[in-house]
């Protein structure tokens, strides 16, 4: 029996091992890609939500400059909900969290 005969007999086992190694490598690569792209998508949703909240605050202030703080908050949250529904669906922030975000951003506009 020579080397060629041995390789021919081991060929099915080597192919199986190679297939297993490739499967593990592809699985690991897909996990890394999923995690990386998932983080990037979440960051874009957060950015869109914060931008929509700021736009909602500006619009609420322009609509009723003398409106009370609660009215401004409600209008800003409603604006963001209509403006970026995908971001809200993906991030699933509570109403309380959205209101707190708006309250913190109102300080940037001088509303206390």
Structural domain contains residue 84? yes
In a domain, 18, yes or no: yes
CA distance 15 to 69: 69
Q: Structure pTM?
A: 0.66
Tokens of 26: 């592809």
- Domain containing 86 equals 11-109
pLDDT at 49 over 90: yes
- pLDDT score of 80: 93
| Residue 66 within any structural domain of the chain | yes
Domain membership of residue 5 (yes or no) is no
Say what angle helices 69-83 and 95-106 make with each other, to 10 degrees. Answer: 120
Half-sphere exposure of 78 (CA within 13 A, CB side): 8
Number of domains in the chain: 1
Determine which helix (DSSP H) or strand (DSSP E) holds 110, and give its type and residue range.
Answer: none
Q: Is residue 4 part of a domain?
A: no
* Mean pLDDT value across the chain: 86
Q: Is residue 1 part of a domain?
A: no
51: in domain: yes
């Amino acid at each position: 029996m020579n080397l060629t005969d041995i390789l021919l007999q081991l060929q099915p086992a080597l192919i199986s091992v190679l297939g297993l190694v490739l499967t593990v490598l592809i699985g690991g690569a897909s996990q890394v890609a999923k995690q990386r792209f998932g983080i990037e998508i979440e960051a874009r949703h957060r950015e869109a939500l914060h931008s929509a909240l700021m736009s909602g605050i500006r619009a609420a202030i322009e609509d009723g400059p003398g409106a009370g703080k609660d009215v401004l908050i409600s209008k800003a949250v409603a604006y963001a909900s209509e403006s970026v529904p995908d971001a809200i669906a993906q991030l699933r922030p509570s109403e309380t969290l959205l209101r707190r975000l708006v309250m913190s951003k109102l300080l940037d506009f001088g509303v206390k």
